[in-house]
Amino acid sequence: MRRFSTLAIMFVFTVFSSTPLLAQDGGDNKVDLLLIFEKGGIIMYILLLLSFLASCLVFYYLLTLRNSVIVPKEFIVQAENAINQKDFEVLARVCEKNNSPASKIIAAGANIFLRSKNNYQMIKDAVEDEGVRQAGLLWHRIQALQDIAVIAPMVGLLGTVLGMIKSFMGLSAESATPRPTVIASGVSMALLTTAAGLIVGILAMILYSVFRARINKILTELENSCNKIAVEMMLVDDDTNSPF
């Protein structure tokens, strides 16, 4: 499943990057990219910028939204070993050396344990609160891609309106019979910007959906791992305060 998701992302990204080059004229030759941007006007350059930003975000998410980064197995093993040894100072140091969301969640519980060993409810609340905060940060991280998916079609629609305005202004400026080129220039701008905006928006939304599914899977793993360690932490708390 992970391999399929990665391949799907790379396929969409490849289409994303090469879409302007796929436009063709009436023959077999490809339309000049510079000509497309010249006809589309400044709106095409705005959409190009949005496309570039989306591409950068995709690479960033591929590098950072992984189980090995969010829930490092090595850290989980070190944390469990520290709890089994009932050494929460070592656990706190292990969390400080690791900068993953999992380490920050466990560190919240470890710090409470060091300050208030007999209050397991505070440990539970600290772990849950930090877990909610880290989950929110992960969701906020991919929000930019959804914003691009929403903004790009609107920018394309703006190009459509500007293209139609250009056509009607050209018509009003013609004293005699209007030339077809006057209308064609504005219409081509309207169609090109509309198509480009929709392409960028649709592909960005597809990529957002893929990464949203990935985050759901990562959060499940994060919750399971941190809950397991939190329970072990509370059991150590009970053993420490047991009179037997």
Work out the percent of the chain whose per-residue pLDDT is above 70.
74
In terms of Cα–Cα distance, which of 57, 4, 38, 39 is closest to 200?
Answer: 57
Range 191-210 average pLDDT: 92
Strand-pairing partners, residue 24, are 30
In terms of Cα–Cα distance, which of 151, 109, 113 is closest to 130?
Answer: 109
pLDDT of 6: 56
Is residue 34 pLDDT above 50, yes or no? yes
Residues 6+ apart with CB under 8 A from 176: none
Q: How far apart are the first and last CA of the chain?
A: 49
Residues 6+ apart with CB under 8 A from 93: none
pLDDT of 27: 44
Q: Around 208, how many Cα atoms within 13 Å sit in the side-chain half-sphere? A: 19
- Select the more confidently predicted residue: 18 or 151: 151
pTM for the whole thing? 0.77
Is residue 80 pLDDT above 60, yes or no? yes
- Select the more confidently predicted residue: 89 or 140: 140
Q: Domain residues for 173?
A: 1-244
pLDDT band for position 17 (cuts 50, 70, 90): low
Number of domains in the chain: 1
pLDDT of 176: 53
Give pLDDT tens digits for 161-200. 888 887 777 666 655 555 666 667 677 778 888 899 999 9
Is residue 143 pLDDT above 90, yes or no? yes
